[in-house]
Chains A and B, each alone.
Chain A
Amino acid sequence: MSSEFSAEQIEISADPEALYALSLDERFGDGAPLLPPTDERVAALLDATTQDASTVLGVLPPKKGVLTIELAAINAAMAGVTPQAFGHVLAALEAVIVPEFNAFALTTTTSSVFPMLIVNGPRRDDLGIDYRAGCLGGAAGRGSMTIGRAVSLCLRNVGGQRAGETSRTVFGQPARFGLCFGEWEERSPWPSLAERRGFSSDQDVVSVHGGKGTFPMADVNNDDPRDLIQMIAKSIAFPLNNWYLEPTGENGQLVLCLNPMWAERFGDAFENCESFQEYLWSHAFQPIELWPQANQEILRTKDRVDAKGRVYLTNRPDQLVPVVCGGLGSLHAVALTSFVESEMQSMAVNAAATVQER
């Protein structure tokens, strides 16, 4: 079987500590223990797709590494991806490679930004995609924990992304280990993220968002949906948001994770997602006086200040993207803040090329 692989092969002790130590020494690991990418594990992943192992998916930045299905499978094996979930890894990688996602900037910038994966579709439960309580960390679904990690390992080992070297990220963020969560579609008052992006509800879809981090918000003081949206709008339009650094508010998205209870409240007030986004956007601004004089001058030079002295976060409502997820404890929302110079991409999992059951 080994002769089928083109990647360099090594032999090490079967002791799990041996691979872990090697991954740290050779720097192909992410600091956490890895599963050994044995011939059998890699072959099982390759068997889960009808695509040939040598098929080139694209080039991964920053070092322009050529990503083949085989290399994706090796990294997915180390991350612990099951064969059933390998199609989601491939879809995520295909989305990352789309030029408009701007993966080169994401993997080299001083920002903390990293691809965050959002999963829609009927196989969320089967694959262990977290979309309920603790979905952004702590829920421990195998799909969530391994799919995101596989993408991260591909960027490290194929793309050559290394913090402090090829990547100038100042802080990084926990999502650089891999962040993958689902939408609680059944609790969304509106069509799912994937449906709003042109897919059908029976398709498994992975969307990638260039997210700078998880920005938490909370409220217990007001039950009025419009009041609450206004406060969310003011919170996401914080004065040091990347959008206020950029030449325009034209690019990028912010993902707003809404808990199911708040989503229901908003759904009662706004019958469609577009009207919710419009209302949110209309309050997502700050008065120019909020900034010190030096900042004001730059914002005015960029023509970011309107006739009423308002500086809107984004140019359009559709750049504020709600996703329903999280637990039933209500009270909280999370913004996955934007790198701005990156456009969200969505890819259907290629069902025809992915083995569903093994």
Chain B
Amino acid sequence: MDQAAVEASVEEVQLLLRGDGADLHLVDVNSKTARITVRLDLDGVDCADCVLPPDLLSEMITAALQKRVLGEFEVRVDDPRVV
């Protein structure tokens, strides 16, 4: 997988999240398993529920990646709001 394309996609979503004080970190890009792992950072966020809901966030990350990354991949979002 194209690491630069993945990073650009994550940056796109970061911009959306930072407006609410949250952040998104790229944790791992594994071409062998076709898995991309990101982590939602809510440190310093007063209202976690004001950040994009987990399902919508996952959809937005996937959509951002699909614009730039060829082939099939699986996105894993480590979201502290999801137990």
Query: Interface of A with B (CB < 8 Å)?
Result: 132-133, 186-187, 260-261, 327-329
Contacts and interface: CB of A to CB of B under 8 A. Distances in A.
A328 B33 contact: no
Of listed B30, B32, B72, residue having the most chain A CB within 10 A: B72
- For the residues of A in contact with B, the DSSP-based class is loop
A132 B33 contact: no
Given A132-B34, A186-B33, A260-B74, 9 more contacts: A132-B71, A132-B72, A133-B72, A186-B30, A187-B33, A187-B34, A328-B34, A328-B74, A329-B72
Of listed A133, A327, A328, residue having the most chain B CB within 10 A: A328
Interface string B47-83: 0000000000000000000000001111000000000
Contacts of A327: 72
Contacts of B34: 132, 187, 328
A260 B72 CA distance: 12
Of listed B30, B71, B73, residue having the most chain A CB within 10 A: B71
B32 A186 contact: yes
12 contacts: A132-B34, A132-B71, A132-B72, A186-B30, A186-B32, A187-B34, A260-B74, A327-B72, A328-B34, A328-B72, A328-B73, A329-B72
Contacts of A328: 34, 72-74
Interface of B: 30, 32-34, 71-74
Nearest to A261: B74
A328 B30 CA distance: 14
Contacts of B30: 186
B76 to A, nearest CB: 11
Contacts of B33: 186-187
A187 B34 CA distance: 9
A328 B33 CA distance: 10
A311 B71 CA distance: 43
Nearest to A187: B33
Contacts of A261: 74
A346 B71 CA distance: 30
A327 to B, nearest CB: 5
Nearest to B72: A328
A123 to B, nearest CB: 14
A324 to B, nearest CB: 11
B6 to A, nearest CB: 16
Contacts of B73: 328
B3 to A, nearest CB: 17
A180 to B, nearest CB: 20
A20 B34 CA distance: 39
Contacts of A133: 71-72
A201 B39 CA distance: 31
B82 to A, nearest CB: 16
Contacts of B32: 186
Contacts of A329: 72
A329 B34 CA distance: 12
A132 B74 CA distance: 12
Nearest to A328: B72
Nearest to A326: B72
A327 B72 CA distance: 7
Contacts of A260: 74
A132 B72 CA distance: 9
A44 B33 CA distance: 34
Contacts of B74: 260-261, 328
In the A-B complex, the 6 residue pairs with the smallest Cβ-Cβ separation, listed nearest first, are A186-B32, A186-B33, A328-B72, A133-B72, A328-B74, A327-B72
A327 B71 CA distance: 10
A327 B34 CA distance: 10
Nearest to B30: A186
